[in-house]
């Protein structure tokens, strides 16, 4: 029986797929760490014969070339994509026999990129399914602005046409199996839906329930910032990447950690924000593995800067290293495990004060402080605290000089980004308090307003 097995990468908000008829298999949009697919195929007792890419990815380094090489599979990539590696070129209308009972039909679905393809699975023992990559997603579509503003309008209209083509040509019971849309910034908007059909999308997806002008206008108005490391993904994918080296990085002692900090390198503490606040290596930056570690580290780090990892266990280091390899940061400069006492040597660990919004309201009654909101601009426009300064986290390293003088209280929506911001500010010599609290304008923030005597700044759509 045909089996479709999603392989989730929650940290990047993506899914890859392994499809098997019990004897052979094919893979759609594999991530860089191909060992997961190889183990999955081995457990199923099947050989991977084909690897398919829906598009040249902008949010991760593809494992397609490496997986095809490791399995001697045919690697199917759009004939129009200018890639530097051998592939089996395909185009709209092609049909690939992928097994005794399965085949894939190629459908051109431009919009996320100009050369985007979707693949319709036709099997004798199950309803059809369509692998839609970054085209038709669950409740939304892929964003059309990653190739530059000069192409955004054209791609938005192409995305509309592609979604309607899929909805017109495929029956309502067709499973929709996207690569993006599970938290990826490649999605135009975020959705909590985890499974869907063409029929579901016809009823509820704005691209299929709105007119073209309304869809394009709404889509473009809702686009927000996306990670800076995206600029490096497409060139790496057009060149073709090898499988990553996930062997353990070299170990650094306290003296080496200090040398690396003095040299301007990044020393990244992977522990939770609570553990980091309680004590850390002075100058280290906190990107906890318990949050969107790889997205924000990849977004903020100057590309090519050596990165040293600090974790409580070797497993923490290995997990972070795998995440970084997925976006093309292949080898950490060094690593150290343990805790602050192991990393500071003769120096003392440093701590960061933490607080809640209630604490902020109370302190504002007695003395002025700088309220730094590090959420993205779209979040800020929806609602924000009176008197706060908005510098989105991804802009903070380049805009440190714009942070007003005085004690800084940094906040975001939950505390994760605030801790990153606080570590950046502390490393720059600023007095900072990290607000580890949920920003909810209907509860906590209204209490803040009452306590501080201020008026909440809100903008209603």
Q: 377-434 pLDDT, tens per residue?
A: 999 999 999 889 999 999 999 999 999 999 999 999 999 999 999 999 999 999 999 9
247 lies in some domain: no
* CATH at residue 133: 3.60.15.10
Q: Domain range holding 9?
A: 3-239
454 lies in some domain: yes
Residue 58: predicted pLDDT: 95
Residue 187: predicted pLDDT: 87
Residue 282: predicted pLDDT: 97
292 lies in some domain: yes
E-state strands within 10-80: 14-20, 24-28, 47-52, 74-78
Do 134 and 163 fall within a single domain?
yes
Reported as type and span, the H/E element at residue 225 is none
Residue 42: predicted pLDDT: 97
Do 59 and 167 fall within a single domain?
yes
Domains contained in the chain, number: 3
414 lies in some domain: yes
Do 316 and 365 fall within a single domain?
no
Q: Confidence class of residue 455 from pLDDT cuts 50, 70 and 90?
A: very low
Do 125 and 183 fall within a single domain?
yes
Point out the domain boundary residue: 239, 266, 295: 239
pLDDT greater than 80 at residue 341: yes
pLDDT greater than 50 at residue 249: yes
Do 36 and 90 fall within a single domain?
yes
Do 226 and 326 fall within a single domain?
no
pLDDT greater than 80 at residue 142: yes
From 277, 339, 284, select the one nearest 307 (Cα to Cα).
Answer: 284
Do 58 and 163 fall within a single domain?
yes
210 lies in some domain: yes
* Cα–Cα distance measured from residue 189 to residue 224, given in angstroms and rounded to the nearest whole number: 9
Point out the domain boundary residue: 344, 369, 395: 344
Higher pLDDT, 166 or 362: 166
Do 61 and 194 fall within a single domain?
yes
Q: Give 70-106 pLDDT, tens digit per residue.
A: 999 999 999 999 999 999 999 999 999 998 889 999 9
Do 312 and 377 fall within a single domain?
no
Q: Give 48-62 pLDDT, tens digit per residue.
A: 999 999 999 999 999
pLDDT greater than 50 at residue 269: yes
Q: Give 167-205 pLDDT, tens digit per residue.
A: 999 999 999 999 998 888 988 877 777 899 999 999 999
Is the CA virtual torsion 186, 191, 192, 194 positive or negative? negative
* CATH at residue 295: 3.40.250.10
Q: Confidence class of residue 328 from pLDDT cuts 50, 70 and 90?
A: very high
246 lies in some domain: no
Q: Which residues contact 283 (CB under 8 A, 6 or more apart)?
A: 261, 267, 427
pLDDT greater than 90 at residue 129: yes
Cα 164-167-169 angle, rounded to 5 deg:
105
249 lies in some domain: no
Question: Which string of DSSP letters, residue by residue, matches 161-175?
Answer: HHHHHHHHHS-TTPE
């Amino acid at each position: 029986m045909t089996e479709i097995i999603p392989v989730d990468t929650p940290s990047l908000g993506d899914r890859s797929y392994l499809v098997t008829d019990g004897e052979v298999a094919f893979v759609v949009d594999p991530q860089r760490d191909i060992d997961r697919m190889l183990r999955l195929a081995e457990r199923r007792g099947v050989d991977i014969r084909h690897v398919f890419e829906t598009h040249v990815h902008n949010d991760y380094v593809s494992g397609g070339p490496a997986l095809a090489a490791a399995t001697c599979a045919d690697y199917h990539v759009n004939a129009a994509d200018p890639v530097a590696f051998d592939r089996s070129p395909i185009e709209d209308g092609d049909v690939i026999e992928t097994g005794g009972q399965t085949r894939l039909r190629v459908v051109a679905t431009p919009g996320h990129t100009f050369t985007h393809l979707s693949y319709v699975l036709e099997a004798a023992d199950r309803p059809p399914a369509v692998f839609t990559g970054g085209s038709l997603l669950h409740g939304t579509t892929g964003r059309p602005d990653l190739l530059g503003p000069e192409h955004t309008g054209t791609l938005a209209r192409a995305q509309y046409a592609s979604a309607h083509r899929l909805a017109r040509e495929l029956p309502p019971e067709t499973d929709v199996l996207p690569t993006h849309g599970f938290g990826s910034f490649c999605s135009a908007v975020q959705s909590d839906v985890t499974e869907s059909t063409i029929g579901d999308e016809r009823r509820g997806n704005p691209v299929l329930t709105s007119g073209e002008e309304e869809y394009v206008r709404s889509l473009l108005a809702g686009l927000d910032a996306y990670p800076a490391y995206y600029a490096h993904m497409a060139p790496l994918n057009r060149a073709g990447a090898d499988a990553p080296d996930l062997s353990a990085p070299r170990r650094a002692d306290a003296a080496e950690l200090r040398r690396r900090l003095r040299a301007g390198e990044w020393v990244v503490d992977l522990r939770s924000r609570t553990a980091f606040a309680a004590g850390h290596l002075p100058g280290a930056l906190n990107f906890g593995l318990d949050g969107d570690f790889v997205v924000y580290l990849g977004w903020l780090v100057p590309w090519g800067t050596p990165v040293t990892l600090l974790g409580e266990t070797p497993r923490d280091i290995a997990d972070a290293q795998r995440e970084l390899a997925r976006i093309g940061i292949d080898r950490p400069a060094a690593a150290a495990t343990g805790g602050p006492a192991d990393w500071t040597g003769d120096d003392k660990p440093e701590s960061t004060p933490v607080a809640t919004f209630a604490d902020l309201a109370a302190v504002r009654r007695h003395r002025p402080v700088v309220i730094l909101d590090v959420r993205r601009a779209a979040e800020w426009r929806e609602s924000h605290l009176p008197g706060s300064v908005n510098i989105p986290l991804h802009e903070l390293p380049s805009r440190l000089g714009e942070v007003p003088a005085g004690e800084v209280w940094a906040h975001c929506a939950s505390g994760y980004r605030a801790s990153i911001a606080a570590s950046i500010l502390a490393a720059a010599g600023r007095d900072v308090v990290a607000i580890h609290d949920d920003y909810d304008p209907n509860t906590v923030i209204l209490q803040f307003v009452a306590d501080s005597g201020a008026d909440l700044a809100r903008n209603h759509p």
